[in-house]
Structure 1
Amino acid sequence: MVQVTVDPLSRIEGHYRINTEVSADGVITDAQSNGLVFRGFERSLQKHDPRDAVLFTMRICGVCPVCHSIAAANAMDDLFGVADQIPKDALVMRNIHQAMNYIASHAAHIYVLWGPDLANPAYHDILAKYGDVGNAVWGELSGRFMPIVNQFNGVRYPAGSSYVAALGEFRRLHKGIAIIGGKMPHTVLQHVGGVVYSPTVADIGKLISTVSETAKFVESFTLGVSPETWIENTYKASSPEKAVNFVIGRLQELLNNSLKNNNFSLSSGWGDVPLFAAFGSELIGETLLGLPVSLKLDRAGGYKDPDKIGFLSYGVFFKPENGDGYDPTSPADSKVIPSGYMNGHFQLEKFDYRKISENITHAFYLDQEMDRPPWNGVTNPEGNPDEIDYTRGSESRYSWVKAPHYGGIPCEVGPLARLLIMKEPLITGLANTFQENGYSPANNYTRMVARMQEVLIMISELLKWLRQDLQAGGKVAVHTDLSMAKSSEGMGLWEAPRGALGHWVATDSDSMATLYQAVVPSTWNLAPRNGQGIPSPVEQALIGTKISAAENALGVDYANPLGILHTARSYDPCLACAVHTIDKTGKHPDSIIKIV
């Protein structure tokens, strides 16, 4: 048995360590997911005016601040008792604000954080064995996804074309968000009772132009066909089978034209999604399309025991047709992407927020109760440095991340969970196809395809909200005052780009916050074990995965553990969100921490 530790895991948001035990034949047999930093947002909000949370919690993360501001605003709506009165245009504004951040965040993950692993030198050596086809595919992977500075085997590679182009789109979308948010990151749009700005006709026109330009990028780089064509045949397909058949048919058509001359370029129709869809999967690429080689990403990052994993969505994006107001408990029919819980056997259940709880058995926190629901949560960090040790193994405490569970079961959250629960045709069809062929339906391949598909869905929905549902100069807020929050409780359920995000708040008789708890996506995905010893989603996905590229195709390489890197990064880790600084000097008590 060999211990392989990645510390820190790079190209993520935050500070993260993964420790694994690997067998002699290169299979991961145990894993610990370590959040490395304790932060104090939950404690810092106590004794504050609760309305500060809308601005304050955005500082949890600079990549996805919008989701925190909306989750906090939703919690304030509930706390102040006005959730059922929020004007429709304010809800549409929240949709638009969030969807643009979704696209930007997903683009950053796909192209800048996760994508460069597709240009790992191990794939050069694997693909080179397959002659002209392999060399052509490597040329496309390295030519598109190579990061800005990269050199190996004495060769310095230029940054990938898709990588560089995605940076420009990320900037464009941030500028678009700033049109309505004032700035980005850490916008100033959201507030209890709605939003603080009503867009003009010119603002809406600028936003449509921004999203339309991003759609052009998607057509040129991502798909190789128009987003409308893709969406019409996948997201809007009449059945999962038709959605999968469209994609397989499109890939087969591209292959029929390209295998003659080994041309897999953008100009021949091979967008980044088709290239990944064909060559990323053993089942799709080798079995169904007859390719000689694939990266076998569908063999890694899956779940072995369906009784110990679930998929969770709180629901996101208000339905404009429902008009003013919303239900803070987030019933499935109130959101464009619905709430729901799907167990490991892919049976869907109605979402019930009362089943959410966090466990600290394997985390560096102190409490007489090991398991608490977030509306009764406690964030009391371990203060003895001798007890902060990440190396004692799976039976010990080893992370600053708590372990959330839903009815006792750890849950994957994020694009794959959302689209499975939504019964989105393409992702549902792919999951069925993998399951029927003996693969885990949730794996590194399907996780990334779901994130790609969600970008396309968001573009489609965004343009509809902007063109049809948002009224320039409309009513965007209802009146509130602090007295309305006296001795109250609030809950804000939302979905960050990375998955289910919940904020919980309670106040005293002076309307000041006495409790604030945030359970964020990377808390769900990257937790340690829970009180029953069940590993978190990422730990389960690592156990059984082979450590090296393409199922150890070149043998076991502990120095280049692509199995760990692909799997952990497939969840788009955001440890800045998942771990909640503490001042042990006592010079800066929680109650006087201010944002300046």
Structure 2
Amino acid sequence: MVQVTVDPLSRIEGHYRINTEVDGNGVITDAQSNGTVFRGFERFLQNHDPRDAALMTMRICGVCPVCHSIAASNALDELFGVADQVPKDALVMRNIHQGMNFLASHAAHVYVLFGPDLANPAYHDILTQYGDTGNAVWDELSGRFMPLINHSNGTHYPAGSSYLGALREFRRLHEGISLVAGKMPHSVLQNVGGVVYSPTVADIQQLGVYLSQTLKFVESFTLGVPLETWLENTYRASSPERAVNFVVEHLQELVDNSLTNNDFSHSTGWGDAPLFAAFGSELVGETLLGLPVSLKLDRSGGYEDPNTIGFLSYGVFFKPEQGDGYDPTSPAEDRVIPSGYMDGNLQPEKFDHTKISENITHAFYIDEEADRPPWNGLTVPEDDPDEIDYTRGSESRYSWIKAPHYDGTPCEVGPISRLLIMEEPLITGLANAFEENGYSPVNNYTRMLARMHEILLLIPEIMTWIVEDLTPNAKVAVHTELSMARNSEGMGLWEAPRGALGHWVASGSNSMTTLYQAVVPSTWNLAPRNAQGIPSPVEQALIGTKISAAENALGVDYSNPLGILHTARSYDPCLACAIHTIDKTEKNPDRIIRVV
């Protein structure tokens, strides 16, 4: 048995490590997800004016601050008793603010945080065994996804074209957000009762220009076909089977046109999503399309026991046609992307926020009650440095992340959960196809394809909010004053790009904050075990995964653990959000293998 630790794991928002045990066949047999920093946002919001939360909680994360400001504002709307009065145009502004951040965050993850692993040197060694076709595919992967500075085997590779293009779009979307929200990150738009700025006609026109320019990148680089063609045959397909058939037939046409001359370039229609869709999956690429090789990402990052995993969405984006106000409990019919829960067998249930709780059995917190709902949450950090040790294994406490669960079940949150719960045809069809063929329906391949696909279906929604639903110079807030928050409670249920995000707040007789709890996406996905010893989603996904590239195609390589990198990074980990003292004890020794 070999211990393999990746520390830090994420390329951004760090303080996160994965520790695994790997057997002699290169299969991960155990995993611990270690959050390694205590931040304390839930504590220093106490005794503050609750209105500070909309601005302060944005500092939890610089990649997705918008979702925190909206979740906080939603919680304050209920705390102040005005959720049913928030003007329609304020809700549309929240949609646009969040929607553009969704696009930017997803682009950053697909192209900058996950994508560079597709250009890992191991794939060069695997693909080039397959002659001209393999060489051509490697040239595309490296030419699109290489990061800014990359040297491999003495060769310097320039940054990938798609990587650089995504950075430009990330900046463009941030400029668009800044136009109406003051700045980005850490905008100043959201507030209790609505937003603080009503856009002008010129603002609305400029927002449309920003989004149109992003659409050009999506059609040219991401898709390779017009967006409307893609959506008409996937998102708006009449059945999941039709959506999957369209994608497979489209990929087959690309393959038939390319295998003779081994040209898989953007100019021949191979957008980044089709390239990933064809060569990322054993089932799609090798079995259905007859390709000689794939990255086999559908073989890793899945769930072996459907009884120990669920899929959760709180719902996101208000429906403008419903007018002013909203229900803080987020009924499924009230949001564009609905709330809901699915068990591990993909059976849907109605969402019930009272089933959410957090467990600290394996986390570095002190509480005589190991399990608490957010309304009664407590965040007291362990203060004995001898107790803060990440090396004691799965039976110990080993993380600063709490372990949320829904009715006792750990849940994956994020794009694939949202799209499965809303019964989006393509992702539903793919999940069904993988399950029918003996694969886990949710795996590294389907998880990443869902994130790419969500970018595509959101663009026309955002454009509609901008062009049709937003009224210039409209009323965008209702009056509030501090006394309205006296002895009250509020809950803000929302979705970050990474998944389900909830803020809970309570106030006392002086209207000051007495409780603040944030249960965030990476807390759900990257938690330690719960009281029953059930591993978190990422831990379950790692156990059973092979450590090296393409199912150990080149043998077991503990020094290049792509199985860990792909799996953990497929959740878009954001540890700044997930954990609420840096270890100065120097007690924690180096692992047998450490990847930095």
CA distance in 2: counterparts of 1:184 and 1:12, whole angstroms: 17
Please give the per-residue CA displacement for 1:539-568, whole angstroms capped at 9, x wherever unaligned.
000000000000000000000000000000
Residue segments in structure 2 that go unaligned for 5+ positions in a row:
585-596
TM-score of the pair, normalised by structure 1: 0.97
Q: Which amino acid aligns with 2:157?
A: Y
Please give the per-residue CA displacement for 1:100-152, whole angstroms capped at 9, x wherever unaligned.
00000000000000000000000000001100000000000000000011111
Structure 2 counterpart SS, 1:219: helix
Q: Which amino acid aligns with 2:216?
A: K
Contact 2:8 2:14 in 1 (8 A): no
Query: Structure 1 residue 538 and structure 2 residue 529: aligned?
Result: no
CA distance in 1: counterparts of 2:574 and 2:152, whole angstroms: 28
Counterpart for residue 305 of structure 2: 305
| Residue 13 of structure 1: how far off its partner (Å) | 1.6
Query: Structure 1 residue 249 and structure 2 residue 249: aligned?
Result: yes
Tell me: CA distance 1:81–1:473, structure 2 relative to 1, closer, same or farther (3 Å).
same
Q: Which amino acid aligns with 2:195?
A: V
| Residue 581 of structure 1: how far off its partner (Å) | 6.5
Please give the per-residue CA displacement for 1:36-63, whole angstroms capped at 9, x wherever unaligned.
0000110000000000000000000000
Counterpart for residue 137 of structure 1: 137
Tell me: CA distance 1:39–1:305, structure 2 relative to 1, closer, same or farther (3 Å).
same
CA distance in 2: counterparts of 1:532 and 1:470, whole angstroms: 48
Q: Which amino acid aligns with 2:578?
A: A
Counterpart for residue 479 of structure 1: 479
Please give the per-residue CA displacement for 1:183-240, whole angstroms capped at 9, x wherever unaligned.
0000000000000111111001000000000000001100001111111111111111
Counterpart for residue 237 of structure 1: 237
Structure 2 counterpart SS, 1:358: strand
Counterpart for residue 551 of structure 2: 551
| Residue 576 of structure 1: how far off its partner (Å) | 0.2
CA distance in 1: counterparts of 2:168 and 2:581, whole angstroms: 33
Q: Which amino acid aligns with 1:435?
A: E
Counterpart for residue 390 of structure 1: 390
CA distance in 2: counterparts of 1:308 and 1:512, whole angstroms: 39
* 1:249-268 paired onto structure 2 within 5 Å: 249-268=249-268
Tell me: CA distance 1:581–1:467, structure 2 relative to 1, closer, same or farther (3 Å).
farther
Q: Which amino acid aligns with 1:67?
A: C
* 1:283-432 paired onto structure 2 within 5 Å: 283-432=283-432
Q: Once superposed, what is the RMSD of the aligned Cα atoms?
A: 1.1
Counterpart for residue 570 of structure 1: 570
Q: Which amino acid aligns with 1:446?
A: T
CA distance in 1: counterparts of 2:245 and 2:7, whole angstroms: 42
Residue segments in structure 1 that go unaligned for 5+ positions in a row:
585-596
Counterpart for residue 159 of structure 1: 159
Percent identical residues: 80
Contact 1:111 1:163 in 2 (8 A): yes
TM-score of the pair, normalised by structure 2: 0.97
* 1:96-107 paired onto structure 2 within 5 Å: 96-107=96-107
Contact 1:73 1:192 in 2 (8 A): yes
| Residue 12 of structure 1: how far off its partner (Å) | 3.4
Contact 2:10 2:569 in 1 (8 A): no
Counterpart for residue 110 of structure 2: 110
CA distance in 1: counterparts of 2:537 and 2:104, whole angstroms: 25
| Residue 523 of structure 1: how far off its partner (Å) | 0.1
CA distance in 1: counterparts of 2:187 and 2:467, whole angstroms: 23
Contact 2:302 2:442 in 1 (8 A): yes
Tell me: CA distance 1:581–1:320, structure 2 relative to 1, closer, same or farther (3 Å).
farther
**Segments of 4+ moved more than 4 angstroms:** none
Contact 1:12 1:569 in 2 (8 A): no
Structure 2 counterpart SS, 1:465: helix
Contact 2:36 2:581 in 1 (8 A): no
Counterpart for residue 279 of structure 1: 279
Counterpart for residue 516 of structure 1: 516
Counterpart for residue 219 of structure 1: 219
Structure 1 counterpart SS, 2:29: strand
Q: Which amino acid aligns with 1:36?
A: T
Structure 2 counterpart SS, 1:515: strand
Query: Structure 1 residue 26 and structure 2 residue 26: aligned?
Result: yes
Structure 1 counterpart SS, 2:395: coil
Query: Structure 1 residue 446 and structure 2 residue 446: aligned?
Result: yes
CA distance in 1: counterparts of 2:170 and 2:280, whole angstroms: 24
| Residue 10 of structure 1: how far off its partner (Å) | 3.6
Structure 2 counterpart SS, 1:129: helix
How many residue pairs end up in the alignment? Answer: 584
Counterpart for residue 588 of structure 1: none
Contact 1:40 1:581 in 2 (8 A): no
CA distance in 1: counterparts of 2:581 and 2:482, whole angstroms: 28
